[in-house]
Structure 1
Amino acid sequence: MERESARYGIVGVGMMGREHMINLAHLRSEGAIVTCVADPHPSSLQLALDLARSLDAPPLVVFSGHQQLLDSGLCDVVVVSSPNMTHFEILMDIINHQKPHHILVEKPLCTTVENCRKVINAAKQRPDIIVQVGLEYRYMPPVSKLINIVKSGTLGHIKMVAIREHRFPFLVKVDNWNRFNVNTGGTLVEKCCHFFDLMRLFAAANPVRVMASGSIDVNHKDEVYDGKVPDIIDNAYVIVEFDNGSRGMLDLCMFAEGSKNEQEISVVGDIGKGEAFVPESIVRVGLRSEGRTGVKTEIANDERIKYDGLHHGSSYLEHLNFLSVIKGEGIGAPAVSLIDGLLSVAMGVAAQLSIEKGHFVTIQEILED
């Protein structure tokens, strides 16, 4: 029996917007229906229409602008998957619209801490709206399993969190918007807010100061757009100190296609160590008392996932969770709050500034700025 429906509009139907369309199509039996989309690029709108037909989805209404979509009355939930630098204006328009629309906004929340704060303050005036930030790496089955292991106390008090992402370069996006810091917020905001969010979860603490070293060494150096060479870094090391004494470390390389895993996460407590590997979907746990021979390896699966997609099923689970929240099915608040979104951006901004200045940057100075 089909459940009560939730009507979705999607703002921005580039690669990630169309990925959301596919995930929501797999949630049709749960009541999710994509009724309309908005995008200023006719080619993207046509791809969305073609995709909707291929998914045997209900007829899709298309708009060139998000304001038209909001005024149409065709949706109750809006997914914001437009370029990073457009998030702030679009979010403020949705929040301030007289008709309430629940919001799932892709990461990063905004490209600056100041704009994140403005969104948070505006959302406080709209208790009738639920806003969730799309930090979906939390939902990847091996990562989710490791989060639960850490929360269970199996590893003891967490002291160190190390995250390695060795991957391919940034993909080509519409108008090449993701080639410049002014549009993305910088690589450590655009891409790595995911990992700073996970560090906070594993450490169960808030960041105090950040030290980073990074540069653009291999990718995009021979590209030119409107006379400008891309300035996004393609590799970095980042150290984060937390208010409970634990530390996090990010090792990012975006010219490492020759890697077995794209993400490797290590969490070490005073009792044991846990690891998660993506896309192998493996979790390893070992206790100090049992040594190397006692390390156990498990495959992490989630049988609820109906579509793996671009992020190993995490976007599907993110939508499943958010749908439960907006339908009031026993979950009172979004899994990833606006404060989570703000702090993940603040950590990325601090890391970008640390590279520029060559010294530790405190989170307090970033939040105060």
Structure 2
Amino acid sequence: MTQDIRYGVIGCGMMGQEHLRNIALLDGAEVAAIYEPNAAMAAASHVLAPGAVLCDDLDALLSRDDLDCLLVASPNHLHVEQLDAVAARQPLPVLMEKPLYTAPQHAERIAALTRDYPAPIWVAMEYRYMPPIAAFLDRLDEATGGVRMLSIREHRFPFLPKIGHWNRFNRNTGGTLVEKCCHFFDLMRLCLRSDPVRVMASAGQEVNHLDELYDGERPDIWDSAYVIVEFASGARAMLELCMYAEGSRYQEELSATGPSGKIEAMVPGPGRFWPAHAGPAPVPQVVLSPRSPKGPQVLEIPVDAEILAAGDHNGATFYQHQRFLDVVRHGTSCEVTLADGDWSVRMGLAAQQSALTGQAVTL
């Protein structure tokens, strides 16, 4: 019988606990140790992973010799500092939550990790692994004949409350177009198989958090944006974000078009937010719309109920962990590299800058 892969988990707030629920569903994996400085979050995490040791600090976790890999799910602004500590003390395979970093000055440290870190680091771009988006990606080339235009729309709920309200402020998150939208910039590069050359954005804080005050400070996190990205290949992509549209039937809608036709993916939001009075929650879909013969084809992409209930990302966290465990067990290559994580942040930071200045940003 194969011995379980033993995780050490750094940070167990809302997203960290989603990881714990999904690890519990995996064959041959367990959480052995947790470092979570907030007492309430640590207690909740221990309920989800009762066999795990709660460590008093990061050093105590990194001093253990019984771990096979690490998961970092701490607040964004701690990621680079904690990765540096891991590299210095216990350079195990890492599943690193997004965004990889939050400020331009961190890029040099990521470059050093890319060069020197002796084990795999997988950046947690979960959206790639949502079943409807995975199906969209599998059929992308055949359906379009080569993507020339890509549109991504996310209409969703506002940022949820987090410990210490850290996600209400740009200095902690990197800004909405980094914190939230790095997922979509990653998908753009993945779909178009090209790197961005120019970013143009209009964004701001229009509705959410305007009446909130924390230690006398008002939140400055944005809630809406349009972003256009031009790629080296000549293809173009657009993002539309609205974080006060939780009444939508689908949360994410992707559309890719090329000379042969169009393909779309429709992804519902978290099931726990779907109103009971509206009947059953919508099923994810992929829609194929060839130019010839004309006629859309709708494919339903249901997600296993147990996996769906384990998190807010349409099953993606589970499927991501399955692939990460293959890397840990068999030494296969990471599907989402530090370079991918770096590009997604660079695009987000460029979009933030463009929106602030009113000028296009060249990458």
Greater Cα offset, 299-308 or 266-275: 299-308
Query: Quick check: 1:69 aligned with 2:52?
Result: no
1:43 is aligned with what amino acid?
A
Q: Which residue number in structure 1 is paired with residue 337 of structure 2? A: 337
Q: C-alpha displacement at 1:305, in angstroms?
A: 7.5
Q: Which residue number in structure 2 is paired with residue 39 of structure 1? A: 36
Give the secondary-structure state (helix, strand or coil) at the position aligned to 2:148.
Answer: strand
Q: List per-residue Cα deviations over 1:277-334 (Å, max 9, x = no partner).
A: 002310001111222xx21110124669845421111000000000011101xx7211
Q: Which residue number in structure 1 is paired with residue 11 of structure 2? A: 12
Q: C-alpha displacement at 1:115, in angstroms?
A: 1.5
Q: C-alpha displacement at 1:74, in angstroms?
A: 3.3
Q: C-alpha displacement at 1:51, in angstroms?
A: 2.3
- List aligned pairs for 1:114-263, cutoff 5 A: 114-127=105-118, 129-151=119-141, 153-263=142-252
- Say if 2:326 and 2:332, in contact at 8 Å, map to a contact too: no
Q: List per-residue Cα deviations over 1:329-367 (Å, max 9, x = no partner).
A: xx721110000000000010000000110010112xxxx
Query: Quick check: 1:91 aligned with 2:83?
Result: yes
- Say if 2:143 and 2:263, in contact at 8 Å, map to a contact too: no
* Closer, same or farther: CA 304–336 of 1 in aligned 2, 3 Å: farther
Mark the runs of 5 or more structure 2 residues left unpaired by the alignment.
269-282
- Say if 1:215 and 1:234, in contact at 8 Å, map to a contact too: yes
Q: C-alpha displacement at 1:89, in angstroms?
A: 0.4
Query: Quick check: 1:313 aligned with 2:312?
Result: no
1:335 is aligned with what amino acid?
E
Separation of aligned partners in 2, 1:38 and 1:123? 25
Query: Quick check: 1:296 aligned with 2:286?
Result: no
Q: Which residue number in structure 1 is paired with residue 286 of structure 2? A: 283
Separation of aligned partners in 1, 2:323 and 2:4? 15
Separation of aligned partners in 1, 2:123 and 2:224? 25
Q: C-alpha displacement at 1:64, in angstroms?
A: 2.9
Query: Number of residues paired by the alignment?
Result: 348
Separation of aligned partners in 1, 2:329 and 2:306? 19
Q: List per-residue Cα deviations over 1:223-267 (Å, max 9, x = no partner).
A: 011111100110010000000011110000000011000000000
Q: Which residue number in structure 1 is paired with residue 49 of structure 2? A: 52
Separation of aligned partners in 2, 1:143 and 1:117? 32
Q: Which residue number in structure 2 is paired with residue 367 of structure 1? A: none
* Closer, same or farther: CA 49–119 of 1 in aligned 2, 3 Å: same
Q: C-alpha displacement at 1:65, in angstroms?
A: 1.9
* Closer, same or farther: CA 114–305 of 1 in aligned 2, 3 Å: farther
Mark the runs of 5 or more structure 1 residues left unpaired by the alignment.
54-58, 364-369
- Say if 1:36 and 1:74, in contact at 8 Å, map to a contact too: no
Separation of aligned partners in 2, 1:263 and 1:333? 28
* Closer, same or farther: CA 323–87 of 1 in aligned 2, 3 Å: same
TM-score, with length taken from structure 2: 0.92
TM-score, with length taken from structure 1: 0.91
Separation of aligned partners in 2, 1:114 and 1:314? 30
Q: Which residue number in structure 1 is paired with residue 278 of structure 2? A: none
1:61 is aligned with what amino acid?
V
Separation of aligned partners in 2, 1:303 and 1:185? 34
Give the secondary-structure state (helix, strand or coil) at the position aligned to 1:17.
Answer: helix
Give the secondary-structure state (helix, strand or coil) at the position aligned to 1:96.
Answer: helix
Q: C-alpha displacement at 1:73, in angstroms?
A: 2.1
- List aligned pairs for 1:16-31, cutoff 5 A: 16-27=15-26, 29=27, 31=28
Separation of aligned partners in 2, 1:48 and 1:300? 31
Separation of aligned partners in 2, 1:50 and 1:168? 27
Q: List per-residue Cα deviations over 1:71-95 (Å, max 9, x = no partner).
A: 1223221100000000010001111
Q: Which residue number in structure 1 is paired with residue 326 of structure 2? A: 324
2:301 is aligned with what amino acid?
A
Separation of aligned partners in 2, 1:304 and 1:252? 28
